[in-house]
């Protein structure tokens, strides 16, 4: 009996390298599984960029959609401000703001307590120093403690330009289109005659914004149906402002 020879290792298939080197990848054949090689890393551990060296960019339609969504995500306060600015611009166009006459001199004060209106007396007076605003109620003689007939509000601003912007903002808040009123200010508007005796006058003289309105609880004889409107009160207020001292 002959001595048994030691077993020899199985010979690998011809298409497989038993010890492939990193520099030489085994060939891929139909009989062998596909092997994916990762790109080598540099000394810092980072892999080099893919062929071409450029990163992928979002397609143009996707980028446009993102920009549109960003616009829709604007803060509500910003959208509200944009809407308010658009309304003021529309009001300026409707009331011919660009054609208003040049403003007159600033008034140093607006002496509302010196206001005299025939057939009416002073009622309650309210002053807001922070806004530079004074509001005076007008009542019928002998009607102490009774309902006011009209309310006059004067607001003195720093400049005539600021007063006109305030008038424009006030006109924007009015629900009806007011009509021009002569003699009640450099610029003045009142409720249109088609609605009966005027219940509201908005005007500006220099740096003073004027508002004269019928009180909400005035009786039918005071609001209309033969009752006078607030135009005479507005004319008396403007005469008072024209006589007021001019600011230096």
218-239 pLDDT tens trace: 544 444 333 579 999 999 999 9
Across the beta sheet with 133-139, the strand order is: 121-128, 133-139, 150-156, 208-214, 200-205, 187-190, 179-180
Distances (CA, A) of 195 to 22, 177, 179, 219: 96, 11, 11, 17
The least confident of 13-17, 88-92, 174-178, 210-214 is 13-17
Q: What is the mean pLDDT of residues 170-186?
A: 95
Which of 95 and 20 is assigned the larger pLDDT?
A: 95
Phi, psi of 236 (to 5 degrees): -65, -35
* The pLDDT value given to residue 86: 85
Residue 181 has pLDDT above 90, yes or no: yes
pLDDT digits 0-9 by tens, 58-113 = 455 555 555 554 554 456 665 556 667 888 899 999 999 999 999 999 999 888 99
The pair of structure tokens assigned to 66 is 């993102």
127 near 103, Cβ under 8 Å?
Answer: no
Per cent of the chain over pLDDT 90 is: 52
Q: What is the mean pLDDT of residues 153-174?
A: 95
150 near 141, Cβ under 8 Å?
Answer: no
Which of 116 and 68 is assigned the larger pLDDT?
A: 116
Give CA–CA dist 34/6, Å, rounded: 35
Give CA–CA dist 110/234, Å, rounded: 14
Residue 159 has pLDDT above 60, yes or no: yes
Residue 208 banded pLDDT, cuts 50, 70, 90: very high
Which of 182 and 222 is assigned the larger pLDDT?
A: 182
* The pLDDT value given to residue 22: 46
Which of 101 and 52 is assigned the larger pLDDT?
A: 101
Q: What angle do CA 163, 196, 177 make, to 5 degrees?
A: 40
Give CA–CA dist 189/205, Å, rounded: 13
């Amino acid at each position: 009996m002959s001595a048994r020879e030691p077993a020899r290792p199985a010979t690998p298939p011809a298409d497989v390298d038993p010890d492939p080197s990193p520099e030489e990848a085994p060939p891929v054949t139909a009989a062998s599984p596909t092997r994916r090689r990762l790109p080598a890393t540099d000394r810092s551990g980072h892999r080099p960029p893919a062929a071409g060296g450029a990163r992928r960019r979002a397609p143009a339609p996707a980028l446009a959609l993102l920009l549109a969504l960003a616009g829709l995500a604007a803060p509500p306060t910003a959208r509200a401000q944009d809407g308010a600015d658009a309304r003021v611009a529309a009001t300026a166009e409707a009331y011919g703001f660009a054609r208003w006459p040049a403003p007159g001199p600033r008034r140093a004060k607006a002496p509302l307590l010196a206001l005299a209106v025939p057939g009416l007396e002073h009622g309650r007076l309210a002053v807001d120093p922070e806004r530079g605003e004074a509001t005076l109620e007008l009542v019928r003689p002998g009607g102490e403690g009774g309902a006011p007939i009209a309310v006059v509000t004067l607001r003195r601003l720093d400049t005539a330009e600021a007063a006109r912007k305030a008038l424009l903002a006030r006109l924007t808040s009015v629900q009806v289109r007011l009509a021009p009123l002569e003699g009640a200010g450099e610029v003045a508007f009142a409720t249109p005659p088609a609605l009966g005796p005027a219940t509201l006058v908005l005007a500006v003289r220099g740096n003073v914004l004027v508002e004269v309105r019928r009180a909400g609880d005035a009786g039918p004889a005071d609001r209309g149906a033969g009752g006078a409107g607030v135009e005479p009160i507005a004319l008396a207020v403007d005469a008072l402002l024209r006589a007021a001292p001019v600011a230096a």
